[in-house]
Each structure stands twice: as structure tokens, then as C-alpha cells.
Amino acid sequence: MTIHRDTQQQPNLPPPVIVATPEQLARFRAAVQDKLRLAVDTESNSLYTYREQVCLIQVSTDQIDFLIDPLRLDNKADLDFFGDILADPQVEKVLHAAEYDVMVLKRDFGFTFNGIFDTMLATRILGWRRIGLGSILSERFGIRVNKANQRANWGQRPLPDRLIRYAQLDTHYLLPLRDELYKDLDQAGALEEAYEIFDEVCSAEWNGGHFDPEGFWLLSGARSLAPSGLAILRELYLYRDAQARQLDVPLFKIMSDANLVALASLAPRSLDEMEQHEIPQRHIRRYGYDILECVRRGLRASPPPPPRRRNNHSNEMVVRRFEALHTWRKRRAARRGVPSDIIMPKDVLWELAEVAPRTYKQLAAIQALGPWRLKTYGDELLLELSNVDRTQAAGH
């Protein structure tokens, strides 16, 4: 159902059904328990709190749109039946850019996933240039979406009507969009590839939310600091986290990464010195004396030792294999007109470089590769790896 319109509009949709009470939850359960497909999305409050949480779950059937309000439900366990639906491979769950939603729903509710159809991944497999849902709704359905609502505080209650309508649009059109994309994938001979990639999304796990006291090493510009600057940066980094945790706000609302590094480089000894070097006035007013204390502690402390490498790719042959596979992936992607990670994730390239399979049987033992990629790219991968080893042997 492709609809192209010269003018864009706000659709005249029936209002979504809010699910915030046991009675509303029972109605939702009755409406979805026998459905073979659902559209799903979430909204979180990551821009407004130290530890984000899922604040809204949107679910659409072919007939009706629901907005589940977990902040108003008395018990998360009341949604266990919905978790069973998400885990059921016989029920297709249609999401756009599903990875984040999968991760946060696992994190907050302990859900598991099977049977995903990811409309954003489908567009990337098809080589679309514009893959954001707002752009797709505009181009395919003539619907105008206010992107500013993406940054709204989804933890506020009551939710204003504009956010309720925005949230509804995130799932209302996903099922007809899925049908269009399914046809396009089928015509392109890409269905098997697509479902292999969709299945990989089901295993996504939340990897954030745990404060790493050594994380300052990852800030842009950190490694160019003098040893004393690194010690100051560590103190500022720990201070920022403590403040954000106490005030329950995101880290960036205390100080940006760039400002932390600038302060560590400057090592100011007074408020006047900060003002002379264009440190934002709001930082000086709110945190000036605390910043000076962080500087003093840093100057007294020993420089922090560099962290251990988390992924040790110091083996020269492993790096050479990876670089060869990386170059192969870029060529393959350019030939197909798709992003490189659609061909193969970088983590799989590293695993191939480390294992260095020499036979098809050894290659098949790498489960992360997947049956479709094995069948499609297996011979090419073995050839690339063989060429690297042959070149190395000839050089010796």
C-alpha cells in the first residue's frame, strides 16, 4: 500500500487506547493474544534522567493502536503475557531500528525476543538512502512527523496530546510498511539474508548503564593530555558522575566530555583563570569551587596507568587478516550499494581473523557467520584468508 501525496498532512486517526490500569491491560491482552503480527516501539527518558527507563510501549495491530504506560502500572509482572508474545516465534514483531528497543525491553522487563521484522534493516538491505522512520512516513504515506518530539521528556505525566499522537504514529504504519518491504526484499532475492539479520537482532543485550571509572580514557582528546592532566581528568570524570547521580540527570547536563578535557588541560588554579579561558559561565557558577578541588586532587595524585586493552589485536597476522577482510567487505558493499555492516558485522570479521579457518567445515563452525552468509560469502572469505597467509609465507 504505497501512498504518494504532493502535500503532507497529519493523519485523522482514531485515538490510541491507553493501557494504564488492570482493566485496560485486560482489554489489551484480549486484543493481541490471537494476533499473528504486531508492530512495537518504545519511548525512554534518556535525555532527562541519570538512569533511563522505558516510559511507553507502543503496540499496533492491523486494527487498533495501544500505548502501554508502564510508569502507571502497579506491577511489571502484569506484562509477562506480553513478554510471552514477544518470545513467540510464530508471532511476527515489526519494529523500526529494533536493536535499541530489544535491549531496553530486556533490561527493564526481562523479555526475550523471536520473530522480529526490522523495517529499518530491511531498507538498508535494499540500499535505501533515507532510512529514518520520519522520512519513510513522509515519502511513502505522506505523513508529517515533528522530529522535535524525539527529544521530549517521555517520563512526564500526563503526556500531552501531541506526544500521544507522535507515539501512535511510530507503530501505526509499520505493518503496511512491512508488507511493502517484504515484497521488495522478495523481488530482490534478499528475504533469506534479511531474516538472518533480523534474527541476530533478537540477541542484542544492553551494554550501558554501568559506570566505568576508567571510562575517561575513552574521551576524545584524553590520550593527548600530559600525565598530570590525565589525573585531573579522572577526578573531574568521577565528580561529574557523582553529581549526575545525585541530581538524577544525564551526564551531559552536568558537563560535556569536551569541557572535562578542556579543564583537565587548563588545570585552573582560580575562578579568574577559568573565566579567562572561556570555560562556560554556568559551569563556573555551579561547579567552580568543586572543579578547583578536583584540580588540586589531580595534581597531588599519581598519573593513572593506561587501561588494559579489552580486545587484544596485537597479533600482526590477526590484524593483517582483519584488514584484508575489511577491504573485501567494503568492495562487496560498494558492489551491492549497501552499508558495509549489512555484508558482515565487524565483530565477525575479527573472529574470522583470529580463528583463520582454512576449510569450509572450519568456517561453518563460526556460528556468528550465519547460514546465509556462509553459503553466499564462504568461498570468498576462505580465498581472502588464504591470500593473506600465502603472502606472509612468501615474504619469509
Rounded distance, CA 13 to CA 254, Å?
41
Report the pLDDT value the prediction gives residue 392, as an integer from 0 to 100. 74
Give yes or no for residue 106 having a pLDDT over 70: yes
Residue ranges making up the domain that contains 142: 17-201
Q: What angle do helix axes 161-172 and 174-187 make, rounded to 10 degrees?
A: 30
> C-alpha 163: how far from its chain's center?
22
Task: Please give the Cα distance from 116 to 120 (Å, whole number).
Answer: 12
**Nearest of 288, 239, 240, 238 to residue 266 by alpha carbon:** 288
Encode pLDDT of 156-181 as tens digits.
999 999 999 999 999 999 999 999 99
- Let me know if residue 354 belongs to a domain: yes
The answer to whether residue 206 scores a pLDDT higher than 70 is yes
- Domain boundary among the residues 300, 333, 360 is at 300
Residue 374 and residue 246 share a domain: no
H helices, E strands: number in the chain = 17, 6
Q: Are residues 160 and 294 in the same domain?
A: no
Query: Model-level pTM?
Result: 0.90
- H or E element that contains 66: strand 65-68
For 129-140, what is each residue's pLDDT tens digit? 999 999 999 999
Q: Are residues 137 and 283 in the same domain?
A: no
Average pLDDT over residues 183-188: 98
Whether residue 310 has pLDDT greater than 60:
no
Same domain, residue pair 88 and 219: no
As a whole number, the mean pLDDT across the chain is: 93
pLDDT above 50: residue 1 = no
252/356 Cα distance (integer angstroms):
42
Instruction: Provide the number of structural domains found in the chain.
Output: 3
Integer Cα distance of 358 and 383 in angstroms: 9
Q: What is the mean pLDDT of residues 368-379?
A: 96
Is residue 64 domain-shared with residue 38, that is, in the same domain? Answer: yes
